[in-house]
Amino acid sequence: MDLPETALSRIVDPLITRIGLWASWLWVLLLAVIVLNVVLRYAFGEGRVEFEEIQWHLYATGFLLALGYGLQTDSHIRVDVLHERFSPTLQAWVEFYGILLFLLPFIALMLIFSVPFVLASFELSEVSNAPGGLPFRWLIKAMLPLGFLLLALATLARLTRVWKFLFAGEGADAG
């Protein structure tokens, strides 16, 4: 389904694309850390807790920062076996109600509960419980509201595009 651009999508979509492409490099860095950790452990008998923790930090950061990019590029998971059989207008209606009834409330809940979660970690100067673990636990926890804030921006841009498709005469059935 080709959706028309809107003023908001022309601002938000390039930003989300840049962040998504930048986040894709985190997977290369994650792979390098995993390989280094495996070589250190099995070739030199030297396992490092820091490398174990940075792996899940990189994974979480890459995943959360790419959520909005997945929505913006329409590469997220959906029930394609049904969706591809729908007309573009029906696809847009499903998208419209899915965003309003499911995605936006979920994002709101994630933001409402994740911000105090991060603030509490910051106030406690929380660090890893593992000996030799990473400090600044709040920093990795901050990826949660940041990722969902980016997803909210991408969702609002997408919603404006679907709205224009359905209600501004720029849908497939128009004209």
Note the pLDDT of residue 128.
87
> Please, what is the end-to-end C-alpha distance for the chain in angstroms?
17
Structure tokens at 175: 């004209």
Note the pLDDT of residue 175.
40
pTM (2 d.p.): 0.89
Note the pLDDT of residue 171.
61
Cβ neighbours of 85 (radius 10 Å): 9
pLDDT along the chain (175 residues), means of 10: 93 97 96 94 87 93 96 81 86 94 98 97 90 86 97 98 90 51
Contact 72, 120 (CB under 8 A): no
